[in-house]
Every structure is written in structure tokens, then in C-alpha cells.
């Protein structure tokens, strides 16, 4: 992306040297890039895990009743947390697609709290975020699940 910025800058300099009146949009471009850079950082496995930890109440509520009941066993059956640790990383990639659309409004709010963006970008997020998550989650879940599982078990035991 940085090369695109420099290519644009070079193009503007060349156009101005030829006498074309090109407005300077450097600050606008840098502001927009700063938001995308924050979004990219949010997509790191550790940061995405923290976002999902924040959304655990909503994800648990969105689960089918039989899965919620199974999750509660972790709290009441000794050793069930140890049993769940190897299972959850395999189960999460299968479960997430059915939960994502249910927790998406909460995810949009959580992202909005983390990343300040102009109104025109906020308006686009409900269209962009579900598609982005649909494409990203299959690839990210293997990295996120091992980080999220212990935190999910802690959450279940505490609630």
C-alpha cells in the first residue's frame, strides 16, 4: 500500500510539473490509510482474539441451546474444561459461520469502539464487515481458536 501512496505522489508531482492544477490530497489519503492500518492490526490473531473475548456473551447467547447446555458442563463437571481444550479449536471453525451473522451487530459496535472512523466509513461497515469476516475466519480460526479456547473456558466457569 505504501508504494501506491508513493506512486500517487509521484503522479501528482509529475502532473503539477506539466502545469496541471492537482489539489493536494495527501492528508486525506494519510487519514484514510491510518484507519485501514488500524483495521489490519485488529486482524492480528491476538487482537482478533481479544475482540472475540469481548463478544463471548453474545456468542454464547447465539449458540444453539444444546451447545449452550454442553458449555455449561464445563462449569459443573470437574475435568470438563480439560476435555474441551482439544475439542474447541476443532469445533470453532464449524460453529463460527452460524454465529457470525448473529453477533455481527455487536461486532460492528466493538470495532467502532476500537477504531475511530468517519461517518461515511461507519455507514459502509455493515456491508463490508460480514463479507470480510466470511472470507477471513476460515483462515484465521486455526490461529485464533487456541488463543480463544482458554479464555472461553474461563468465561464459562465465571458465568
Enter the DSSP assignment of 48: H
Q: What is the mean pLDDT of the chain?
A: 88
Are 143 and 47 spatial neighbours (Cβ–Cβ below 8 Å)?
no
- pLDDT, tens only, 86-137: 888 888 888 888 899 999 999 999 999 999 998 988 999 999 999 999 998 8
**35 and 60 housed in the same domain:** no
Domain count for the chain, please give it: 2
- pLDDT at residue 80 is higher than 60: yes
- pLDDT at residue 9 is higher than 80: no
- pLDDT at residue 43 is higher than 80: yes
**105 and 154 housed in the same domain:** yes
156 CB-near residues (< 8 Å, 6+ apart): 60, 71, 72, 74, 75, 81
- pLDDT at residue 144 is higher than 90: yes
Closest to 97 measured CA to CA, from 72, 62, 128 = 62
Are 152 and 91 spatial neighbours (Cβ–Cβ below 8 Å)?
no
Q: How far apart are CA 138 and CA 92, in angstroms?
A: 10
**53 and 67 housed in the same domain:** yes
**35 and 52 housed in the same domain:** no
Q: How far apart are CA 73 and CA 143, in angstroms?
A: 25
Q: What is the pTM of this model?
A: 0.78
| CB burial readout 47-81, b (16+ within 10 A) else e | ebbbbbebbbebbbebbeeeeeeebeebeeeeebb
**145 and 116 housed in the same domain:** yes
**32 and 54 housed in the same domain:** no
**131 and 57 housed in the same domain:** yes
Which residue do the cell numbers 506539466 mark? 18
**60 and 34 housed in the same domain:** no
**35 and 53 housed in the same domain:** no
Q: Which domain holds residue 149?
A: 45-158
**25 and 92 housed in the same domain:** no
Amino acid at each position: 500500500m505504501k508504494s501506491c501512496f508513493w506512486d500517487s505522489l509521484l503522479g501528482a508531482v509529475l502532473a503539477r510539473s506539466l502545469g496541471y492544477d492537482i489539489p493536494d490530497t495527501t492528508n486525506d489519503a494519510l487519514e484514510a490509510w491510518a484507519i485501514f492500518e488500524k483495521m489490519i492490526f485488529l486482524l492480528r490473531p491476538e487482537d482478533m482474539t481479544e475482540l472475540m473475548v469481548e463478544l463471548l456473551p453474545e456468542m454464547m447467547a447465539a449458540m444453539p441451546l444444546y451447545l449452550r447446555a454442553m458449555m455449561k458442563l464445563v462449569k459443573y463437571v470437574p475435568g470438563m474444561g480439560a476435555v474441551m481444550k482439544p475439542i474447541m479449536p476443532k469445533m470453532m471453525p464449524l460453529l463460527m459461520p452460524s454465529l457470525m451473522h448473529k453477533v455481527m451487530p455487536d461486532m460492528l459496535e466493538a470495532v467502532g469502539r476500537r477504531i475511530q472512523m468517519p461517518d461515511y466509513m461507519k455507514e459502509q461497515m455493515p456491508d463490508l464487515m460480514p463479507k470480510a469476516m466470511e472470507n477471513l475466519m476460515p483462515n484465521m480460526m486455526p490461529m485464533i481458536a487456541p488463543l480463544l479456547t482458554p479464555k472461553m473456558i474461563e468465561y464459562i466457569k465465571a458465568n
